[in-house]
């Protein structure tokens, strides 16, 4: 009976470790993606503003 409990505990710890590692990797990937997305949005807003200013100057 003790052997079965030991095996069960080891299996549960292994499963828990896999889930924890997966969650950690997902969190890191999401963090990196968000930072890149924010940089892209800032650059896009800058380009849009430049485009708008050029259009307004050409319009005059």
Residues 5-37 have pLDDT tens digits of 999 999 999 999 999 999 999 999 999 999 999
> What total number of domains does the chain contain?
1
Which tokens go with 33?
């993606």
How crowded is residue 22: how many other Cβ atoms within 10 Å of its Cβ? 10
Contacts 24+ apart (CB under 8 A), 10-14: none
Range of the domain at 32: 1-59
Rounded to two decimals, the pTM is 0.66
- Over residues 42-59, the pLDDT tens digits come to 999 999 999 999 999 887
Angle, CA 47 vertex, CA 42 and CA 52 arms, to 5°: 125
What is the Cα 11 distance to its own chain's centre? 29
On the question of pLDDT at 60 being above 90, the answer is no
């Amino acid at each position: 009976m003790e052997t079965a409990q030991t095996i069960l505990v080891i299996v549960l710890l292994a499963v828990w470790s896999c889930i924890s590692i997966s969650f950690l990797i997902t969190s890191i990937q999401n963090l990196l993606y968000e930072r890149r997305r924010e940089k892209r949005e800032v650059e896009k807003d800058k380009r849009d503003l430049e485009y708008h200013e050029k259009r307004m100057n050409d319009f005059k």
